């Protein structure tokens, strides 16, 4: 058994590396929360998945620190429609979508829509450099242990969620978030 352990660890590591590469820029199939087939994350391949009110779910409650050390919690987001974007500084599609996310944030902030980034699989230094480079004005959590990503059922980055005012997931975008798609989702949620 001991002789097989290094081979087993090598295989597990190879699988993990393959999944990491695939998750940020590869293609794959999965199933959406509402049962629809979805395509995963690359800059030319994305999925917008609206979730009907009878199939919406709320992630587990969480508390975390933003990139500057301030504490945020899921409870503080309730009562507002919130866009939650999972990202990493090294992720090409994440970098591609960042200017559009900031543009939509500025357009919808006055309508009471909140934005929150959740940085995963990264370092604080690199995450802060990304925020500075793209002049991101909304907060981002640093989720070193990826628990918040787990609570939101994130499989790929970038993944962006529209969370309704009750804290339930109303829509999910896997792959690059485009301005027009996000605005349509937010307008739909604001009018309901």
Contact (Cβ atoms closer than 8 angstroms) between residue 72 and residue 141: yes
pLDDT tens digits for 83-130? 999 999 999 999 999 999 999 999 999 999 999 999 999 999 999 999
C-alpha to C-alpha distances, 23 to 9, 15, 64, 174, 177, nearest whole angstrom: 21, 12, 24, 10, 15
Q: Indicate whether 79 pLDDT > 90.
A: yes
**Predicted local confidence at residue 178, as pLDDT:** 93
Mean of per-residue pLDDT scores for the chain: 83
pLDDT tens digits for 24-48? 444 333 333 333 333 334 445 678 8
Q: Which domains does the chain show, CATH number per domain? A: 2-191 (3.40.30.10)
User: What is this structure's pTM?
Assistant: 0.77
């Amino acid at each position: 058994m001991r002789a097989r352990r290094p081979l087993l660890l090598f295989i597990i590591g190879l699988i993990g590396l393959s999944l990491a590469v695939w998750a940020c820029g590869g293609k794959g199939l999965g199933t959406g929360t509402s049962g629809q087939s979805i395509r995963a994350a690359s800059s030319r391949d994305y999925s917008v998945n609206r979730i009907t009110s009878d199939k919406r779910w709320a992630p587990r409650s969480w508390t975390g620190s933003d990139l500057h050390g301030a504490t945020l919690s899921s409870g503080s987001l309730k009562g507002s429609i919130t866009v939650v974007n999972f990202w990493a500084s090294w992720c090409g599609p994440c970098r591609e979508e960042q200017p559009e996310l900031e543009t939509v944030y500025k357009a919808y902030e006055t309508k009471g829509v909140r934005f929150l980034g959740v940085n995963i699989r990264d370092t604080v230094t690199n995450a802060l450099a990304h925020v500075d480079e793209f002049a991101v004005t909304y907060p981002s959590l640093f989720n070193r242990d990826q628990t918040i990503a787990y609570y939101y059922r994130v499989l790929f980055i970038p993944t962006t969620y529209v969370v309704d005012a009750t804290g339930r997931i109303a829509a999910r975008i896997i792959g690059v978030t485009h301005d027009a798609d996000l605005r349509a989702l937010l307008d739909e949620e604001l009018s309901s």
